[in-house]
Structure 1
Amino acid sequence: MKRYAVVGASSGTGKRVVAQLAASGAAVRAISRQPVPSHGTVESYAADVTDAEAIKGALSGGFDAVFFTVDIHGKGLTREQVKAVMLDGCVNTIAAAKAGGAGRFVLLSVMGADLPSWVWWLLNAMKPGMRDNIVKREKFLRDSGLPYVICRAPRLTDAENPMSVTASAPLHRMTMWRTISRNDLARMLISAADDAPLGTTWDVYTGKVDNAPW
């Protein structure tokens, strides 16, 4: 049985990754500040990504894949608060995954952080420094020596019905019209964890047909 760790497991896409992995019968360690209840093959684990030692303990024992799906929410966020979670927390998690012998690291990233877009201007206004944090953490992962796959998502929705999803080269700008549901994104992250070539980066979004090149 494969073992997975989901960091950011209590809400959003991470919660859906846990649910889909559990439904497949996989063993999952669900890691979050406020842990979800353990059930079946899901083991709940409380850890904060801003605490390097805590996240190192959470990722000990060797996992086939570690998912990083953490986000930060709230009004009036400072640049320091955003960086502590989005960049420093990710760096802590990458280091912990490497120390724990993870098979691969699947990073949920954001589409077009390296391309001009008015949508990114809005995101930076709500979460100061977010764009720079996204770019820097992707680079840190690439330089870490840890096997990885990066999946860049567009605007997220809560649509429940499955849609066709495309994975393509990371060449798209962030827009309001390109979307993906959190359920479909979770499905693609799991697929990438199992089958995507290591050391690759993808844009994943709702398309006309299911198209995962791996």
Structure 2
Amino acid sequence: MNVLVVGANGQIGQHLIDELKKQGKHNPIAFVRKEEQVEHFKKQDVKARLGDLESSIDEIKKSMTDIDAVVFTAGSGGSTGSDKTLLVDLDGAVKVIEATKASGIDRFVMVSALGADERDRWSEELKGYYVAKHFADMWLLDSNLNYTIVRPGMLLNEESIGKVLVKEAIKDNDVFSIPRIDVAKTIVATLDNENTYHKSFDLVTGQDTLDEALKSL
């Protein structure tokens, strides 16, 4: 499959591009906002397409020619205000979902956040972020696309542990974090795994191999 990675220049996105290349089963195509980012990926022998999540659905759709699956792992980042969170994490996600539908693409993987599905788990400090993630996920659920929603815990810049815990909702556990690279590996594993189709799940470091964990869904 040709996989469009929206947010390819982000930390999970870069790991995801690397994992897709390494495994060689699917072709990554980076969706990025700046021309220098396009050049960066081209130097890595990765195709890249220029796009802006704050542009129109029709403009975003132009990047979806010959695409078989879309992964949304974009985010406004912790240094921006709530306005950018709404424009990127919510409205940007919704526009990508609508552009995916309009392009006749069926497969969509969303990177959300642990607990985004339950309001009583949202912290006051990050409430705006959780609101954006919650309603973007809801839009995807109602889209009729073949979705998978991955809700990772606290993201760590550490080496791969390679063991995960996957559940519909993780509330009582000793570990609520996961390395970003293990999130990327999970995304790759879901792309054509039918057991993850039309599923949403929390994801943290655990004791199961990735194959074992996804079989348990």
- TM-score where L is the length of structure 1: 0.87
Q: In structure 1, the residue corresponding to 2:19 is in which secondary structure?
A: helix
Correspondence 1:134-173 to 2 at 5 A: 134-169=133-168, 171-173=169-171
- The answer for the alignment partner of 2:120 in structure 1 is 116
Corresponding position: 1:13 with 2:18: no
8 Å contact 1:60–1:97 — kept in the other structure? Answer: no
Q: Quick one: percent identity of the two aligned structures?
A: 27
Q: What is the SS of the residue equivalent to 1:172?
A: coil
* 2:175–2:205 Cα contact (<8 Å) kept: no
SS in 2 for 1:30: strand
Contact 1:154 1:174 in 2 (8 A): no
Q: 1:44-193 to 2 correspondence within 5 Å?
A: 44-52=48-56, 53-63=58-68, 65-75=69-79, 77-113=80-116, 114-117=118-121, 120-124=123-127, 129-169=128-168, 171-173=169-171, 177-193=175-191
Structure 1 residue identity aligned to 2:105: A
Q: Which runs of 4+ in 1 moved over 6 A?
A: none
Cα distance change on mapping 1:11 and 1:78 into 2, 3 Å: closer
- Aligned pairs, number: 205
Report Cα offsets for 1:15-34 as digits up to 9, x if no partner: 11111101122322111113
**Secondary structure of 1:44's match?**
strand
Question: Within 1, Cα distance between the matches of 2:74 and 2:174?
Answer: 21
- When residues 106 and 174 of structure 1 are mapped into structure 2, their CA distance, relative to the original with a 3 A threshold, is farther
Q: Structure 1: which amino acid aligns with 2:87?
A: A
Name the CA distance, whole Å, in 1 between partners of 2:2 and 2:15.
Answer: 16
Q: Distance in 2 between matches of 1:39 and 1:98?
A: 31
User: Is residue 27 from structure 1 mapped to residue 27 from structure 2 by the alignment?
Assistant: yes
1:43-97 CA deviation, whole Å, 9 max, x = no partner?
Answer: 011111111233211123231x21000011253x333221001110000100111
What is the alpha-carbon distance in structure 2 between the residues aligned to residue 72 and residue 173 of structure 1? Answer: 26
Deviations along 1:121-163, whole A, 9 cap, x unmatched? 2223xxxx22211111111001111111101011000111333
Q: Deviations over 1:141-190 (max 9, x none)?
A: 01111111101011000111333012211x23499951111110000011
Contact 2:2 2:66 survives alignment (8 Å): no
More helix by share: 2
Unaligned runs of 5+ in 2: none
Q: Any stretches of 5+ residues in structure 1 without a counterpart?
A: none
Q: TM-score, normalised by structure 2?
A: 0.86
Aligned AA (1:156): L
Does structure 2 conserve the Cα–Cα contact (< 8 Å) formed by 1:155 and 1:175? no
Name the Cα RMSD after superposition.
2.2
Q: Which moved more, 1:193-202 or 1:82-91?
A: 193-202
Partner Cα distance (1:74, 1:180) in 2:
18
